[in-house]
Chains A and B, each alone.
Chain A
Amino acid sequence: MPIVIVLDVSLSMSRPVPVVDGTPEFTRRQLAIVAINTLLDHLERHCRLEFVSFIIFSSLWENKVSFTRDYDSIRSALNDLQEFSKTCLSSAVAAAKSSLLEEFGIRTPGQVIIFTDGNVGVGSGSLKDDLQGLDMVTESQRDFPCKIQIVCISPPKDPALEVSLPLYRKLIALSTDHGDVYLPDSVLSVSSVKLLMETLNVAHFNPFEAKLHCGHLSSSVNLHPAPEIYDKDHDFQHIKKGVSSKLNICGFLDISDIASPPFISKHLVLPVSSKSGLTDHSSDQEDSKDDEPAFTVLLHGSLKVEAMIALVEISEDWYGMMFSWADSKKKSNLMLSIFEPGAKAIPWLGNMQHLAPMQDFTTPPYGEDSNKSPFPVRPSERRSYAQNCVVWIKHSGLQADIQKMLRNARKLPEKQPHFYKELNRVRRAALSFGFYELLESAAQLLERECTQLPGNAHPDAAFQLTHAITECSQGGNS
C-alpha cells in the first residue's frame, strides 16, 4: 500500500536529546530522520514496489516529494529541511489522506506514518483545539481505508505524553479504523529509535508469503501488495477473513468466459526462490535462481499464450483469478485478482463451488473443438428489458402497443399469428392491470377497422377481426 511519510518540522523538533554516556548530541529531528531512513532501508529490501511520498508540516504543510519508488529522492529531501513554527497535526493528517485519495482513489488502502515529538501544539491549530467537539464520526470520513501510525520521537516518560497520547488515539479513531502510536522503549538514542522502527516495519511492511499449488506443481510466491484482511458487514452476516498462505488452483477458464469480473484487490505474484527464500537480488544467488525452473513462469507463459485465467482458491469459500497482465507491451507478469468472498461472487460463473472438471461431463461442455462455451450461466428469469414486458405508465407505451396490433390487423389474414400474439399481449396486460376500459376501446377500434376493410379484402380478415372483437368485449366480463 502507498505510504505517506509525514515529518514534524516545528521548532520543538529541534530540541536536543539529553546526552547519555558521552554519545554525540542529537536533536529530535535528527533522530526522526534516522527513523525515516531505517524505514526506507527496510522498504528497499522487502517492498521495493511501494510508492512513498513525503510531507513536512508545522502550522502549514508542504508536499516535499510526491509518490515515488525512488527512495533516494526522499533521502535527499531529508537533508534539506528548514525549521518552521508550531505543530498543527490534524491539518497534516488531512493533507496526507487527501493526497492518497487524489492519487490512488478510495479503493487503494494507504498508510500514513507521522514522525513527531509528542508535542501536540498550543492554541488554535493544536490537536486539542481541533479535536474539540469532534466526538461523532460520520461514515464518510472513515470510508477511505487508511492506516495512521504515529511515531513519537520522545522519551517514553515525557510528561507531555500524558496529554498527547489520548489525543493521538482520538485522532486515529476519528480518521480511521486502524492505527497505533509507537514510542521508544528506553531513553532516546539512535539505537532505540532504530529498534522502534524495526517493530513498526515488522508489523506493517512484510511481504506476504504464500505457496501456489496446481496439483503437484507448486511455487513459493510473494504477493504484492500484501492482501488486506477482509472485514465487512454483509446482509445477514459479517465476514472477516484473511487470504490463506496456500493458494490452490482449481481449474482454468477462457478470458472471454470470465469477462472482466469485479475484484476487490489486485496483487503481483512474484516467485520466490526456494533456496534463498528472499526476493532480494544479491548477485551470488542470481545464477542458481534464474536457472531453476519456476512453476509461476510456466503458468504465466501458458496463460498468456492461451488467453486463459486460472481460478484460484485463496481461502475457504473465497476465490480469485490469476492471469498474465502487462502494464506496457514488453513487460508482463503474473497477477492475482481477488474476488469478493463467497462462491457466488461472479454471477455469470454461477456457484463457483459447483464448477466441475470437464471429465465429469458426458458431452464435452466446450464442444468437440472448443467451439462453444458453458458460460455465462444464465439466470432462470429473464430481465424486464429482455422479455418484452408491458409498461403503459407513459402514453407512448400504450400507443406503441396498440399501433403494433393494428398494423398486423390491417394485414390480415397474412399476419394472423402476429396479430393474435400482439392482441393477446395487450389483452393479458389489460386484464392484469384491471384496465377493462382499454379492452372495450380496443374492440371499438377493431370494429372500425372491420367496417373499413376494402372490398377486395380476403373474407378471412373480416372473420378474424369479428372473432377478436367478441373476445375483447367479453374480456371484462369473463
Chain B
Amino acid sequence: MVYPHSHKTVLVLDHTAVFSRPSQQMVDFDAVTKSRGIPLQPVGKSLWTCNVEACMEFSRIIYDIFPTDRLISLIASNVHEAECLTGWKTQEQSLQHQMTALGSLPPPDIKEPADTSIMHGLTKAIKMLCEATPKQEELLKTQPDLKNKGRIICLTSFKSLDRIKVLEDATDLAIRSHNQLASSKPNLLPIEHCDLILLHVDPINQHGNITARSAVKISPQLQSELQPTLSGPHIAHKLVELAIQHFDLASTTITGIPMKEEQNASSSANYDVELLHSMEAHTELFKTGGHLDEIVIPSKEGLRIQTICLKWCTPKSISSELQQCHGAYRITPVDVNSRPSSCLTNFLLNGRAVMLEQQRKSGSKVISHMLSCHGGEIYIHVLGMFRSILEDPPSISEGCGGRVTDYRIKDFGELMKESRLAPAADASHLEELPIERAKGQLERMTRHWPMVIGDTIIFNMLSHLDPLPSLIVNESLSEDDVKDCRRAILYLVDLESRNENLPIPNSGTRGKGPKREEQYRQMWRECEKLVRCHANNSPQHAEVLECLLHCKGSTGPPSPKSEVKTENGSKDEENTYDQSMKTLERQMTEREKKDFNTIKKETDSPPVKKIKSEVIPRASAGSPESVLSIWMNKMAAKCSKRHAEFSGRIDSKGSKAELYKNPKPEPM
C-alpha cells in the first residue's frame, strides 16, 4: 500500500512587504505593438507576481495531468496571519478557483515591517495537512489506520541561515501539537510524515548568501530541504522542476511538427513541442534502454531535465482501429500558449491522432507512442513495440463451432446495438448499479435466442411478428404494448386460417423443410416458448401468454402435452414399413418422426424445395415412397437432429440442459 506525499501539496506564499519589491524582470510589451507614438517603458513584475505565476503554473501542470487525487492548497501568509485561499474541496481544485481567490487578495503591504516570519503560513499549512481530503474521508470509512502524508512548498526569503533552523524546529513543534489535537478530534488526521521544501527567492541579478541544502530529517515526522532560487522565470522553472520530481513526471519533446508560417502561409516549417506526463509512459523505454542515448536530449524549454525526443508522424487517416495500447497518460505542454503548442493541442482536440516514432542513429524507426484526445483531455498512449506472444493466432473458424455457417450474425448485431451502454446521468440514487441492470437486460433478451438460423422459425419471419419479440423482452408492458402483442398474435392466427405458407425463406431451414401444418405447429410452439419465458416479468406479460395460448388452442393443437400423445399414437399405427425404415426412425427424434409420419400419410412425395407453393405437393400426392424421399428424409433427420435436441432442452438432463437453466451463482 502506498500513501503518497503528493496527494496533498500546500503552497505557502509569503505575502509580506519583502515580496512587494520588484523582481527586476522587465517586460517590453510595447515592442510588438507597431505603434507610431513614443515607446512605453517596459513593465516590471514584483516578486509577488512572479511567485503567484510560478504557483499557478505548478497547479496548471498538476491539474492537467492528475485531475483527481493530487490536491493543491494555496496559503498566503502576512505579518499578522495566514489566509487559506484554496482548500481540499473538489470544487476548489481548479485554476479558475485559484485565480478568483488570488484576485481577491490585496497586493503585499509595502508599509509593513520588512523583518517578518513565514511561521503563520507554515502553521496554517500544517493545519491544512491535518484536514482530511474528500478522498481521505472516503478511505477512512474502510481504513481507520490511514496514513496521512503531505508536502509543503514554501516560497519565502531568509535573512540568514540561523532563521531556517528556528523555522524548522517550530514547524516540527507545530506538527506535534497538531497531531496531539488531531488524535482527539474525529475530523482531523494526524500527520504521519511531512516533506517541507523551503524556497528562498531573490530578485534577478541579486545572488544572496543562502546556499542550497539537500533534505535532512528533522524528526520522524518532518524532513526539510532548502533551495535558493532567483525570481522571474527562474522561480517558475524551479516549481515546474519540483512538480516533475514530486509527481514522478517525465518529458517528451515532439519534433518535426509541420506548421504553416504566420507570414508565409504557403510554406511550412518544423517545430518542436515539449510535453510533460507521468513517468510511467516511459517506463518501458528506460527498462529496455537499448537506444536510450540516441533519443534522450536536454529540455529545449530551459528546464534542467532530460526529455525523450520522438518524431511526429503525419497522420494518414482518422482511423477507428483499436491500437495495441499499454497505457494512456494525460499530458500538458510545458509552454501551453506558444504557437506550436496550441497548434498541436488544437489539432489533437479536434479528434486527430498522431503517431510518434523513435528515430535511431541506425536509421531504423519504431513507432512507440501515440497522442490522441478523449473527451477534451489529451493522452500519450504507450504502444507495443515488441513481438507479440499472440502472433499468428489460429483463426476462429478452426476452433469448435467454426464450421457452422448459419449463425444469426446480423440478428446478434442488432441485439448488440440494442444492448449498447451509456453513462447514467446520476447513479447515486439508484438502488441497483446501472451495470447490473445492463446485465439484467441481456438476461431478458437472451432467454429464448437460438444461435443458428436453422433452429428457429419465428426469428426468420420477424417482420410478421413485430412488435411482439421486441416488446416481450421488456421489463414491463403498457396497455398499448399488450394490444400490439395481441395484434401480432391475431395476425398469425389469420395467416394460418387463410392456409398461407409461413413467410420463411426456404433456405433458412436446414435440409428438407417440414409441412405447412407442422411449420405452424413449430411456430406456435416457439412463440409460446418465447412468451412463456417472459410470462413472469409482469401481469401484462402473463396476459400476452394467455392470449397466445388461447389463440394457439383455437387453431392448432390445444396444448403441447396432448399434442405429444397424438403423435405417439399415430407413430404406432404407422409402423408398418420395412426394417430399414425402422432403423431410420430409431435415429429420428420425436419431432422428426412426426414430420416424417405426416409426410408419409399425406404426401408420400418429397416436398423438398416445393414448400413455397402449396399446390404442387398435393398434385403429386399418391405416388409411392421413392428412394429419393427416403434418402431426403434420412438426411433431414440427420441434419435437424439438433433441432429436436434444442426444443427438448428444457426438460433434458443431458449436457445441454445447462444452457437454459438459470446459471447457478458461482462462488467468487
Contacts and interface: CB of A to CB of B under 8 A. Distances in A.
B38 interface: yes
Interface residues of B, number: 148
A251 interface: yes
B392 interface: yes
A296 B328 contact: no
Interface string A252-289: 11111011111110101011111100000000000001
Given A217-B449, A386-B349, A357 B320 contact: no
A316 to B, nearest CB: 6
A165 to B, nearest CB: 31
Contacts of B307: none
B444 interface: yes
Contacts of B69: 235
Interface string A426-455: 001101111111101100110011011000
A391 interface: yes
Interface string B375-411: 1111001101111111111111101111110011110
Given A293-B452, A355-B434, A357-B441, A379 B27 contact: no
B319 to A, nearest CB: 10
A307 B100 CA distance: 46
Contacts of B7: 235
B424 A273 contact: no
B143 interface: yes
A315 B103 contact: no
A334 B396 contact: yes
Nearest to B411: A302
B442 interface: yes
A308 B376 contact: no
Given A246-B666, A353-B433, A354-B423, A262 B326 contact: yes
A328 B452 CA distance: 27
Given A293-B404, A354-B433, A355-B422, A107 B326 contact: yes
B279 to A, nearest CB: 13
Contact of B57 (A248, A358, A391): A391
A302 B409 contact: yes
Interface string A377-411: 11101111111011111111111101100100000
B280 to A, nearest CB: 10
B381 A260 contact: yes
A303 interface: yes
B103 A431 contact: yes
Given A250-B438, A274-B655, A292 B404 contact: yes
B390 A261 contact: no
A429 B99 contact: yes
Interface of B: 1-4, 7, 27-33, 35-38, 40-41, 43-46, 48-49, 52-54, 56-57, 60, 63-64, 67, 69, 94-96, 98-100, 102-103, 105, 107-108, 135, 139, 143, 146, 233, 236, 283-284, 287-288, 290, 320-328, 330, 332-333, 335-338, 341-342, 345, 349, 370, 372, 374-378, 381-382, 384-397, 399-404, 407-410, 412-413, 416-424, 427, 433-435, 437-447, 449, 451-452, 474-475, 642, 655-656, 659-660, 663, 666, 668
CB-CB nearest 6 A-B residue pairs: A294-B401, A215-B446, A376-B375, A105-B386, A356-B434, A365-B422
22 contacts: A67-B387, A107-B384, A214-B442, A234-B1, A235-B2, A235-B69, A250-B439, A253-B420, A260-B322, A266-B390, A293-B404, A293-B407, A308-B417, A325-B322, A333-B393, A354-B433, A359-B441, A378-B375, A383-B377, A435-B46, A435-B49, A449-B35
